[in-house]
Amino acid sequence: MTNVMITGVYGLIAGSTYNHLVREPDRYAVCGLARRRQPSDRVPADEVISVPDDRFVLSDLSDLKQVTEAVSGMDVVVHMAADPSGQGGWESVLQSNVIGAYNLFEGCRLAGVERVVFASSIQVSAGYRREEAYERFRSGAADDVHVVTHLDPVRPLNLYASSKIWGEALARVYADVHKMSCLCIRIGWVVGDDKLPQPGAGDIWCSRRDIVQLIQRCVDAPDDVRFDVFYGMSNNERCWVDVKHARDVVGYEPVDGG
């Protein structure tokens, strides 16, 4: 039995993950944390979750002591609470993604949590996507391009993406120095109705069931997976980021594709 805490549990991806894991009560005891007890606007009506009171913590991650108490007793924390786009501006990114991520990792260290699965974003690599070579590849004008991997330099284009790089840097710190297992997922474009968000975005799409599968594989990964970064994409055509690494390390097998 694995005790799993999902932060930001009323978000789109976090809620799908919650619903998936609670269906296996013999394997997971799932708790949720959020700063309000209501679903995000992005969540479709049929995916609204119901977290029992004794499995729910109300917190905005601004207070380290509160976070530490919330995660104590957990084996794995799936950290999805964040400003999901950066559209809330600098203050929102600062509070939720910069300070919130630090409090989360530090709270997990203090509480002895063994693993953090950190929700990063494809946006940390977004700069590649608009380069000419990648535009040509995506449009079909070229068939070859260097597939960007987790080992390539990051290419953020906004504060939100930079805040995810901060979170990945913390993941590295807590894995290397504090010996926690920290796995980062650079999540692609996930939408509530699971349809392609717009024409031409199929390259970075990820269906909800694929991202939930990858999160679950990270929760279940062998203890000796200490740090890694995976791209969370469906099996898309014209995909310019690497998903083979996630297959090799945690057995990710996407079933959808854009």
Partner 1 sequence: MEVRVMVTGVYGLIAGAVYRYLDGQPERFTAFGCARREAPSVRAPTDASFILPEDRYFRADLADYDSVRKAVDGMDVVVQMAAEPDEGAPFEKILNSNLIGAYHVFEACRDAGVKRVVYASSVMASWGCLQDEPYKAIYECRFGDVPSDYHRVTHLDPPRPTEPYSASKVWGEALARTYSDVHGMSCLCVRIGWVNAEDSPYKPELLSTWCSLRDISHLVEQCVAAPDDLRFDIFYGVSDNDYRWVDTDHAKKVVGFAPVDGGKVKLNDPNKGTQGQAQ
User: Interface residues with partner 1 (CB under 8 A)?
Assistant: 90, 94, 98-99, 102, 106, 127, 150-159, 161-163, 165-166, 169-170, 172-173, 176-177
Question: Please, what is the angle between helix 159-176 and helix 100-111, to 10°?
Answer: 20
Structure tokens at 125: 């690599």
Q: Tell me the closest approach of the beta carbon of residue 14 to partner 1, in angstroms.
A: 24
Give the nearest distance from C-beta 124 to partner 1 in angstroms: 8
CB 32, min distance to partner 1, A: 26
What is the smallest separation between the CB atom of 63 and partner 1, expressed in angstroms? Answer: 13
Closer residue to partner 1 (CB): 154 or 211: 154
Angle between helices 64-71 and 100-111 (to 10 degrees): 50
Question: Residue 163 or 207: which CB sits closer to partner 1?
Answer: 163
Shorter beta-carbon distance to partner 1: residue 111 or 157 = 157
Q: How far is the CB of 207 from partner 1 (least distance, A)?
A: 28
115-121 and 227-232 beta bridge pairing: unpaired
Supply the minimum distance, in Å, between the C-beta of residue 108 and partner 1.
Answer: 14
Q: How many angstroms separate the CA atoms of 195 and 256, rounded?
A: 11
Q: Please answer whether residues 159 and 93 qualify as being in contact, where contact means their C-beta atoms are separated by less than 8 angstroms.
A: yes
- The nearer residue to partner 1, 97 or 213, going by C-beta atoms, is 97
* Closest approach of partner 1 to the CB of residue 150, in Å: 8
| Amino acid letter, 31 | C
Q: Residue 39 or residue 107: which is nearer to partner 1 going by CB?
A: 107
What DSSP element (H or E) covers 209? helix 208-220
**Distance in angstroms (rounded) separating the CA atoms of residues 252 and 249:** 8
Q: Is the dihedral of CA 125, 126, 127, 129 positive or negative?
A: positive
Choose between 21 and 108: whose C-beta lies nearer to partner 1. Answer: 108
Residue number, 90 or 142, with CB nearest to partner 1:
90
Alpha helices in 130-180 (DSSP H): 132-139, 159-176
Beta-carbon count within 10 A of 221 CB:
19
Alpha carbon 251 to its chain centroid, in Å, reads 17
Cα(19)–Cα(5) distance, integer angstroms? 13
